[in-house]
Structure 1
Amino acid sequence: MKPTILNQGPAFSKLIKAFVFLIGKCKANKVFSQGRIWAVLPVMIPFLLSSCNEDMDAPTIVTINHHVLKEAYPVHRHQTYLLDLNEDDIPDFSINVMSVGFDQGVREYFQINSLRDSKVILTNEEIAPLTSGLEISEASAIEGSSWSVFTGSMMVRTITENQPDQWSGPWAPDGDYFVGLSVRVNGEYHYGWVKLQADKESHAMFIQEYAFQTIPNLRIKAGQRK
């Protein structure tokens, strides 16, 4: 049988000191005989044991599912990524590139399509790039943005003959950004994010990681992992 290990927290230490002080006072004032001093121990033991749990940390409740891809996944004209944000084996979003021809060449739209009843944060029909720490909730994180079930583009690559490629859109500068997402589960919305890296040199958008708030209607911050 293993011995009981008392928690050595501040409250426990104070209780021990008070108990020793009380015994000392009783002996000094001859309140108890030497044999009777220890008679108070059965009374004090329950108080000592109850203090064991007073300083124990409450268990950490994890409400965010966070997933990091083993290797960043490149999305380009020949490759699409189906994002299952809440990992229920049903895709919630399609991250892809749509090519549209025009007189002088081709435009490639790097975009996110909402599947089922999923939503993205859009600003003027474009995917709003979020920086780390911005709140993702029912109230949109950026002024002028809103939740939408429609397709939004992140950046556009314009390809014309004998001309350097032209890049436009809020994600055109190379860098890491987050997309605010929401999915509906059992009639209630859950918020999350996906982290993407725009890389014009490789003509691709790389998916790096994503996270999902398991508690409905509870906010999450861009980049929050736990």
Structure 2
Amino acid sequence: MKRYILLYAVVALALNACKKDKNTGEIVIPADPIETTPVSGETQPSSANIVYRKLNIKLGYNKHIFLDANGDGTTDISFSSVLIMHDGKQHLYLSAYGKTNSGNKLFVKNGEQLVNGSLWAYPFNKNELIEPTEENNIKWTSNQQKASIVSIVSAGSQTTVEGLWANKADKYLGIALKINGEPYFGWIKLSHETTTNEIIVSEYAYSKIPGGEIIAGEK
């Protein structure tokens, strides 16, 4: 009950940013947050061809993460929250996306675009090879497209969580970092914390070999 009360208070504070345009009736999507100093996490022991770091940071309402995965001082992957009103309900989308024009990409599930223009982020299981397959119908994000992890939906006294990561722990988001014009494949470990409806971004890794394969959870 406490977490619901907290969420309602948060929603009420941000409601003005979510209203429909009075002239067009279209849904207004708030701008992405202004970037702050990016984080890289703590480097951990790993195999010779893999960079592996720990983060343990939480993504939630007004809690954003700017990840500098390759340690060059600039953001590679952003995690943000946006609150949108549609269908008579309040949707708090927690999403990830590659820095504008960076060429960095994320794995998403094929399907209909969500209201915020995103597709659902695809949750890899540990030891799955990170690559698109016809079986699970996944693909890379297009330029500047978001990968939504969960949507926390509030309507009256009811709160539900939508998305492929809802109530899931220790799943892996597939990433491709573009470094010197080449793709470097990797993963970011995420968990849905059900008590607070936040996403825990705990660790990540990527291959040092351009175009080299990586398995979810490989270090």
What TM-score comes out, normalization by structure 2 length? Answer: 0.69
Matches of residues 1-226 of structure 1 in structure 2 within 5 Å? Answer: 62-69=48-55, 72-102=56-86, 104-115=88-99, 116-124=102-110, 125-137=119-131, 139-140=132-133, 143-149=136-142, 150-161=145-156, 163-225=157-219
Gaps of 5+ in 1: 1-59
CA contact (8 A) 1:191 1:212 kept: yes
Q: CA deviation at 1:61?
A: 6.7
State the identity %: 22
Gaps of 5+ in 2: 1-45, 111-118
CA contact (8 A) 1:140 1:147 kept: no
Count of matched residue positions in the alignment of Structure 1 and Structure 2: 162
Distance 1:62 1:176, change over 3 A: same
CA radius of gyration, larger in: 1
Distance 1:108 1:100 in 2: 6
CA contact (8 A) 1:135 1:141 kept: no
Distance 1:224 1:141 in 2: 23
Q: CA deviation at 1:164?
A: 2.4
Paired residue type of 1:151: K
Q: CA deviation at 1:143?
A: 2.5
CA contact (8 A) 1:109 1:153 kept: yes
Distance 1:65 1:157 in 2: 33
Distance 2:139 2:170 in 1: 21
Distance 1:123 1:147 in 2: 9
Higher helix share: 1
Secondary structure at 2:85 match in 1: strand
The C-alpha deviation readout for 1:29-75, integer Å capped at 9, x for no partner, is xxxxxxxxxxxxxxxxxxxxxxxxxxxxxxx9701010012xx2111
Secondary structure at 2:124 match in 1: coil
Distance 1:155 1:217 in 2: 29
CA contact (8 A) 1:121 1:181 kept: yes
Paired residue type of 2:72: D
Paired residue type of 1:118: N
Which consecutive aligned stretches of 4+ in structure 1 deviate over 2 angstroms post-superposition?
A: 102-105, 139-143
Q: CA deviation at 1:129?
A: 0.3
